[in-house]
Amino acid sequence: MNPPLRILCFQPEHPDASKYIRVLEPMGVLRKRGHTILSVEKLLAAHGQEMTPEKLVDQCDIFLISNVDISPPRFEVFERMVAHCNETKKLIIYDFDDYYNEIPDSNPHVRNCPEWNYFVKLIGMAHVLTVTGRELQQVLSEHHPRIFVLPNMIDFEIYKPRPRHSQKLRIGWTAGITHLSDFPIVASVIRKLQQKHHFEFILFGLFPDFLEFISNAEMIAKYSIQPEELQDSYHRAQVEFMKHAEGIECALVPAVSYADFPAYLTNLDLDIGICPIRDARWNRCRSGVKFYQYAATKTATIASNVYPYSDEPVVLAENTEESWTEKLESLILDPVFRGHTTKLQFEYVFKNRNLNRNGLAWEILYQELVKHLCRKEGA
């Protein structure tokens, strides 16, 4: 029997969705299986200056970091931890879930994102990388020889089936603000289908600060500013979004914390969830987690025929108005087809992307990597 693992990771007070999905939730499964999960922040709070970077490393077998952990101000401490990991034969795993070398200009996070060379330097310090899918594995392979795919998973203890209280068909898009530029793919489709069929359209999470967004949009409209006149790509994307949204009846639900997200998604009571994404490497290097979230709440999913969704059992649409109209209308008009699709998708995600059923993937990989490192160092 393998001994329990001691895994050291960053656990900030207000983690983002990536941190929850890629670190905190999988580590919660490992904790239930008897492994020790150590928080850098809690150790520092408990021991103060006595807890040096080297002593932090002494507590663990594995130092797990993610691409949201290491900012330039933390780099010196991180270097000391890496050096001590190598001296004491501790495994360094770097989890990557976005390809920051091609972050779009319209993404508001681009302003605070370090240059790609910075991430390449971090990648080079890890013994192993873990990623969400094969596209990200492929693009990072030129920077590291050992990359393993650990798909995102859904915790079915926190995602519950929707209540099905609504008497009206509900179609929704749960998208963060980084997806503003994907909206034009479906805007004209939603507008035209609303003229033929009765359904509610809900945009959930697109605006972290809805009042700020409306204020910016109203100011831009008041002074008749055109997108090409704006130097900030993010604000250009806002203007384009408002133009494409004209004539669409929709409910706007502001973003919530990830801790509150599952309950909000369930209570939206969506019959159909959409996942439009442009065919760009940035998008192909992301995961199909929105599909897993829809499926877990028993919402049928239709998505662009672009990886990662092209590898999942969703209703796929080419990124044309004709294809999206045809595929979405088939789900609107045929409740039997919609119900069958929902059932198949739920069963697939429950079987293959269920954290409580498949969380062993983390345990098995980590234990094998620790043994491999020990054998290598012993040799």
Residue that has been written with the tokens 């700020």 in this structure: 212
DSSP string, 150-178: ----B-TTT--------SSEEEEEE--GG
E strands of 229-295, at which residues?
251-253, 272-275
Inter-residue contact 258 to 17 (CB < 8 Å): yes
Contact 332, 193 (CB under 8 A): yes
Q: Which residues contact 95 (CB under 8 A, 6 or more apart)?
A: 22, 23, 64, 65, 66, 67, 129, 130, 131, 150
Q: What percentage of residues in the chain have a pLDDT greater than 90?
A: 68
Residue pLDDT, tens place only, 199-211? 999 999 876 554 4
- List, in order of start, the domains of the chain with CATH numbers: 6-153+359-378 (3.40.50), 169-352 (3.40.50.2000)
On whether the CB atoms of residues 149 and 97 are closer than 8 A, the answer is no
Alpha-carbon gap, residue 6 to 61, rounded angstroms = 5
Quick one: average pLDDT of 371-375? 71
Q: Dump pLDDT digits (tens) for 166-197.
A: 889 999 999 887 788 899 999 999 999 999 99
Q: What local confidence, expressed as pLDDT, does residue 179 receive?
A: 84
Range scoring the smallest mean pLDDT among 41-45, 106-110, 184-188, 280-284: 106-110
CA-based angle 67:70:73, to the nearest 5? 155
> Residue 206: which of 171, 240, 254, 247 has the closest Cα?
254
Query: CA dihedral defined by 139, 144, 150, 154, rounded to 10 degrees?
Result: -70
* Number of helical (H) and strand (E) elements in the chain, helices listed first: 17, 12
Q: Please state, in angstroms and rounded to a whole number, the distance separating the CA atoms of residues 295 and 307.
A: 18
CA–CA distance, 374 with 5 (Å, rounded to integer)? 14
Residue 223 binned pLDDT confidence (cut-offs 50, 70, 90): very low
Is residue 49 helix, strand or coil?
A: helix
Say if pTM beats, i.e. exceeds, 0.85: yes
pLDDT reading at 216 higher than 70: no
Question: 115-159: per-residue pLDDT in tens?
Answer: 899 999 999 999 999 999 999 999 999 999 999 999 999 999 999
Q: What is d(CA 29, CA 35) in angstroms, rounded to the nearest whole number? A: 9
CA distances from 238 to 112, 217, 286, 323 (A): 19, 7, 22, 26
Give me the chain's average pLDDT, please: 89
3-state class (DSSP) for residue 8: strand
Q: Residue 20: is its pLDDT beyond 90? A: yes
Using alpha carbons, select from 128, 248, 138 the residue that is nearest to residue 199: 248
pLDDT at residue 345 tops 60: yes
Percent share of the chain, pLDDT over 70: 90
Q: Measured between alpha carbons, how far apart are the two ends of the chain, in Å? A: 22
Q: What is the pLDDT of residue 70?
A: 79
Give the position of tokens 């509900």: 170
